[in-house]
Amino acid sequence: MKHYEIESTLDHLCKPSLVRLRPNLFAAKFDLMKIVPARYIVEQALARGDLKPGGLVVESSSGTFALGLAQTCVTLGLKLALKTGPVEPIVAWRLRHLGAQIDTVESDAGNLREIQEQRFNLVRKTLAEVPGSFWPRQHDNPLHPAAYGPIAHAIGESLGKVDVLVATIGSGGSLFGFARPLREANPNLKVVAVDHNLSVIFGPTSERVYPLCEENYVPLLGMGSDIVFPNVAHAECDEVHWVPVAQMINTVHDLHRTTGLLVGPTSGAALSVANWIASNHPAMRVLTVFPDHGIRYMNTVYNPQWLSERADELQRSWPEPELCNTPTEVAAEWTWFPWGRRSYEEVLGHPPVSRESRVNEAA
């Protein structure tokens, strides 16, 4: 008779399922991946004395890291103040229901860099006003990628040698947190980053995208950025793919139709690329990462009316990506580029730029 391990709620939430999707393709499936670094960073702060029991955690986040912090803080008896941009109603409800205080920053011009800088300023203001408060700094804290180390080691032990890792990129923590332990076991591991067609993380793209990509860049996805964050380790990347939102949505629909797995559209981005690589390299063992559950997207990605209003664009399909010569060529289609473990400047010829800077230069 099987005996079940009794876990704490945080242990349960931080443990992904390892799912076999095809003979050589596996997925680490999380309900909420960002709870892993949120918990790790906060618990390390408590252990060091940087954060006292019952103290205040303050962070700039509007999405899954905010939810991870909220679940961590309510479980550990901590207070949480979030400085956010626009937040989906279902996410805002969950954050407040978990006890988080939310201060929302908006820009009339929709300038995401400006919003982010205002949010950071609000974080610093709260830190100054509340002695003993703690800022996890998800975007540049090296503990963020380090938090995934034990999970990556355990998956590597279960699968044996992993040949290709495919994951979406945002703040950089999860992709490189998985990649480093897996590359220790296999120095030839290919690390494939998946990005949004409007993101600047791997260089300023052309910004010529389909309406779904423009519409859902901020409110729907936990991937891509207008700013290149310090935790993004460009020189550890072998290949980059930019995936249209319609492809992400159709892929998660196919996954649900064939397996019953309900995941978010960011998982669809990673799965599109992982499927293509696995089918073209059947001898390679491919691992991808599904960052969150699909429940957050019931009013959008899994809503028949929302889908019907966007049916024309959702008819598009991309059986495989187009190779580009430089990231600046990336437009509306599924595109890939052989990054080759080079720095940003080695590939683009200049330091990272924000999307705002790109727009201002064009004007």
Q: How confident is the model over 10-18, as a mean pLDDT?
A: 93
Q: Please report the beta strands in 262-306, taking only residues with DSSP state E, as ranges in sequence order.
A: 286-290
Instruction: Show Cβ contacts of residue 202 under 8 Å, excluding neighbours closer than 6 positions.
Output: 169, 193, 195, 234, 237, 240, 327, 337, 339, 344, 347
Our measurement of the distance from residue 162's CA atom to the centroid of its chain's CA atoms, rounded to an integer in Å, reads 21
Instruction: Quote the pTM value.
Output: 0.93
pLDDT at 111 (0 to 100): 57
Q: Write down the mean pLDDT value for the chain.
A: 92
- Confidence band of 87 (pLDDT split at 50, 70, 90): confident
pLDDT digit string (tens) for 270-297?
999 999 999 999 999 999 999 999 998 9
Domains, in order of start, for the chain: 9-33+142-316+327-345 (3.40.50.1100), 35-129 (3.40.50.1100)
Contacts of residue 220, defined as CB under 8 A and 6 or more positions apart, other chains included, come to 88, 245, 265, 297, 300, 301
Cα gap 79→342, rounded to integer Å: 41
Sole residue written with tokens 């820009």: 107
- Rounded CA gap, 347 and 203, in Å? 9
Instruction: List CB contacts of 361: < 8 A, sequence separation 6 or more.
Output: none
Q: What is the pLDDT of residues 135-167, one digit of tens each?
A: 999 989 999 999 999 999 999 999 999 999 999
pLDDT given for residue 359 in this prediction? 47
- How buried is residue 63: exposed, middle or buried, by Cβ count under 10 Å (0-12/13-18/19+)? buried
